[in-house]
Chain A
Amino acid sequence: MRKRWLWTASALVYAFLYLPLVIVVAYSFNDSRLNAEWVGFTLHWYRVLLDDEQMLRAAVNSLLIACTASGVATVLGTMAGIALHRYKMKFLLFLVLTPVAMPEILLGVSLLLFFIQVLNLTLGLFSVMIAHITFCIGFVAIVVRVRLAGMDESIFEAARDLGATPWQTFRLVTLPLIMPGVIAGALMAFTLSIDDFVITFFTAGVGVATLPLQIYSMIKIAVTPEVNAVSTLLMLVTLGLIVAASRIAPEVLKGKA
């Protein structure tokens, strides 16, 4: 009997989770400029989307930033994860976890002030990249550390006993074993970077629109179904990445605690 109650409650929650997304996707095909009532089916808004130069520029920017930021963050985060697991650096742990735990608005604001007051750097693509790397390192480090924690230490001892140098141990033993974690971390960093809104909002200069910023300006100004269209496409892309991540390292999703 309890099972039935659990099932209905869960079904309702899943419905709550999906109904809005279904509506967004459905209305992207709506033949009306306003998002108020259903009029008819059309692919018009997708065509408008593909012609929208600003949107395409924003998409290219997002991809560029996400690729670079996740690449650098993966390298730095992997190093941090290994260092944390192997050498238990308390201070590094604090530095790595705090950007993850703080509200994003604080990170955005502090980086804005830092770039302008100290570095006197003009905000632009570069400033956004640095900001993204900063908050992505933590996620990659956590994933790599979780992966290392679940491994048998004796493998590394065996490699050392057999005469491998530290670099050889890393290259031939550690890296292949943690590779699923590294890739999952990279994919997670990529998704976070491409989706990030608050930090990008504060650190993007003029002329650097990313997709979330573009969507935000569209929501505030012209709420045409073009927003629905871009949302649908964005959902499909990010979904693909998450599915890929879950295939490569399934324990990442579950070990989030």
Chain B
Amino acid sequence: MNGFFTAKDAKEKQKFRVSLANLCVLCGKSLLIFWFSQIAFAADVLHLYNWNNYISAQTVARFEAECHCTVVQDYYSDNEEMLAKLAAGASGYDILVPTGNAVDALIRQGALRPIDKRQLPNFKNLNPAYLNTAFDPGNRYSVPYAYTLTLIGYNVEKMRALGVPTDTWAAIFEPKYLAKMKGRVTVLDSQRELMAAAMKYLGYSANDTDEAKWRQARDLIIRAKPYWAAFNASSYIKELTVGNIWLAHGYSSDMFQAAQDAKRAGRPFTIGYSAPKEGAILALDSMVLHKSGPRPDLAHRFINFMLDGKNSAELTNLIGSGNPNLAAMPYIRPEIAGNAAIFPGREQLARLEMLKDIDRNHRRVLSRMWTEIKLH
């Protein structure tokens, strides 16, 4: 029996050892290649942590050619996601592009590197209306990049046929209008944005943290909720374009895209979008330097590059985002530049508000209200 085991087993052992050795060599080789490629890449690399679809590929390519470096991008779809990942220890990012309230949180945490304006000759191109914000007076840490408005987008023909006004938040909050569009309205799946819209409709500031006012806003939302189809953060573009949804609460750049898609697909309707008269939320995204970034020099070059009018205009022409850069205006397509929902005029600007970060106790209260809204 001993002989039987060793004989059969010797052949199998040999086969096993050979295949194991091959596997080890293969793993070793691939691991080596992996590590070396990482080191090689560290040479002249700019790490950019940006929103999805928030920079044109041509712009990136042109920058890479000009600076003889590589741009490695990572994406997030929500400010909270980015903040959570940074809190979880993510590092090595040269540039982030957070929205105002996230810049607020990052500055107060001391997570950002001050900007050296001497390396940014193009800084003067910026529109003063978007500088010296409440969260970064003097722009010591942030450089405005692009902005969007949170507003309502709609199927123009359907709204006209049903007689629903499109210049007010009442279109998504008042049952008398909602009853005509039951199941055809979506709102953003964002605590802050939806509460802000409700507060604005009630006539309060979106940054008011009075719990009594929050409760009023919550009740307003709960009253309107039965008529809404869904809380939706992104697929409302498609739903509007295809015609399933007639009215959506969303971002101006998304509405721009929906309008373009509808025209290209030859739909029998057009998508319109406008900022409500009670006021809307302005989301100003700025480029900031994270203190763990290894290449602040490349980062400054990138920021200066993006502050050039022509480069800055490319994003606007691509996705219809607002542009705080005055030098970019000549390069922007006239139908975009003239659109008040994308480039609000001065009096419209006065009615817009930027969201501020809220402290942890209020965050908890808001989170509970959001659960109540969802469960109701």
Write the residues of chain A forming the contact surface with B, with a CB cutoff of 8 angstroms.
34, 36, 64, 67, 112, 115-116, 120-123, 158-159, 162, 172-173, 176, 179, 205-207, 217, 220-223
Contacts and interface: CB of A to CB of B under 8 A. Distances in A.
Interface in B254-278: none
Given A64-B34, A67-B27, A158 B1 contact: yes
B5 A116 contact: no
B235 A223 contact: yes
Given A220-B233, A221-B77, A176 B85 contact: no
B22 interface: no
A122 B292 CA distance: 12
B234 A220 contact: yes
B329 to A, nearest CB: 30
B88 A205 contact: yes
Interface string B40-65: 00000000010011000000000000
A116 B89 contact: yes
A176 B90 contact: no
Most buried by B among A115, A159, A172: A172
A172 B6 contact: yes
Contacts of A162: 1-2
A217 B77 contact: yes
A123 B238 contact: no
B211 interface: no
Contacts of A34: 238, 241-242
Contact of B77 (A36, A173, A220): A220
Contacts of B27: 67
Contacts of B9: 172, 176
Nearest to A163: B2
Contacts of B49: 206
16 contacts: A115-B89, A116-B87, A116-B88, A121-B89, A122-B90, A122-B91, A158-B1, A162-B2, A172-B6, A176-B13, A206-B74, A206-B90, A207-B72, A207-B90, A217-B77, A223-B238
A221 B88 contact: no
